[in-house]
């Protein structure tokens, strides 16, 4: 079955420390993976997508098909990075459907 | 450009009552979907649609109905509300059939409490 797993519900780091939010997926097809972020009192919004291989707000994520992972990383966390982060998998084979992981709340401490 | 608009933002219901959460988008997106957000459970897909007249069930469809009579609107109906449906509901849309990047655009959310 298709599944997105985010093992950490809460991740607390100090400002300036590296951050890694884990995401693993289960999908037999060719995955399209995304990270979405929800800042306090704001709408859920796209942070980055694996296809574009971009870096947004200092975050990067590499798709590792061998480990079926798409971990989100940032070398130096900032207080404004505190938010809820969701990993998402888009199916386009035979259907068009998005599923999300359970989310990780990131708290960056001063 | 309003994007994705959800109404109402807040609603309190009694067990057994019915209601409809409205969702409208003005971006001509083919794909529309409803999620519920619960602590520790993340975003779970309720129903989705890839175009007018086409709907399908997601991960947690029981207790919810949807219809897609137009490209713009995708209402979510609770026929007989239960306390287990207390949640925050999000509508989201995207382009699906070519020309899109896959980005989902979300509404602001609707907080529903069932007593």
Confidence (pLDDT) at B61: 97
Instruction: Determine the average pLDDT of the residues in A80-100.
Output: 90
Closest alpha carbon to B44 in B15, B18, B64, B23: B64
pLDDT attached to residue A78 = 97
CB B94 within 8 A of CB B51: no
Predicted confidence (pLDDT) at residue A1 exceeds the cutoff of 80: no
pLDDT at B6 over 60: yes
Give the nearest partner residue to B31 out of A32, A46, A96, using CB atoms. A96
Give the residue numbers in B contacting A (CB under 8 Å), as ranges.
30-31, 33, 35, 40-45, 48, 50, 56, 58-59, 90, 92, 94, 96-97, 101-104, 106-109
Kindly determine whether residue A102 and residue B42, on different chains, have CB atoms separated by under 8 Å.
yes
The H-assigned helical ranges of chain B are none
- Percent of chain A residues past pLDDT 90, beyond the cut: 68
pLDDT given for residue B66 in this prediction: 98
- Name every residue in A having a CB less than 8 A away from some CB of B: 6, 9, 32, 34, 36, 43-46, 49, 51-52, 86, 88, 90, 95-103
- Each residue's pLDDT tens digit, A2-45: 889 999 999 999 999 999 999 999 987 778 899 999 999 899 99
The minimum CA-CA distance between B56 and chain A, rounded to whole Å, is 10
Range in A19-23, B15-19, B101-105 the model is least confident about: B101-105
Please list, in sequence order, all residues whose beta carbon lies within 8 angstroms of the beta carbon of residue A37, skipping any fewer than 6 positions away: A44, A45, A47, A83, A84, A85, A86
pLDDT per position as a tens digit, B49-96:
999 999 999 999 999 999 999 999 999 999 999 999 999 999 999 987
For tokens 């084979």, the residue is A93
Residue B99 pLDDT: 57
Nearest to A64 by CA among A31, A88, A97, A106: A31
**What is residue A27's predicted lDDT score, i.e. its pLDDT?**
86
Residue whose C-alpha is closest to residue B66's, from B21, B8, B100, B29: B21
């Amino acid at each position: 079955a298709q599944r997105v797993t985010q093992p950490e519900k809460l991740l607390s780091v100090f400002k300036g420390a590296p951050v890694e939010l884990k995401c693993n997926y289960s999908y037999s097809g060719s995955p399209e993976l995304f990270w979405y972020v929800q800042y306090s009192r704001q709408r859920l919004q796209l942070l980055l997508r694996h296809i574009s291989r971009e870096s947004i707000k200092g975050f990067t994520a590499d798709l590792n098909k061998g480990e079926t992972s798409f971990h989100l990383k940032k070398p130096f966390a900032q207080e404004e990075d505190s938010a809820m982060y969701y990993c998402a998998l888009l199916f386009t084979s035979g259907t068009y459907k998005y599923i999300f992981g359970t989310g990780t709340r990131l708290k960056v401490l001063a | 450009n309003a994007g994705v608009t959800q109404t109402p933002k807040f609603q309190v219901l009694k067990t057994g009552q019915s209601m409809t959460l409205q969702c409208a988008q003005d971006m001509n997106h083919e794909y529309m979907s409803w999620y519920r957000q619960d602590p520790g459970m993340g975003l779970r897909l309720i129903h989705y649609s890839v175009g007018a007249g086409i709907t399908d069930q997601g991960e947690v469809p029981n207790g919810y109905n949807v219809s897609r009579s137009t490209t713009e609107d995708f209402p979510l109906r609770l026929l007989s509300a239960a306390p287990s449906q207390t949640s925050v509901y999000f509508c989201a849309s995207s382009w699906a059939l070519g020309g899109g990047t896959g980005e989902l655009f979300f509404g602001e959310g609707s907080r529903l409490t069932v007593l």
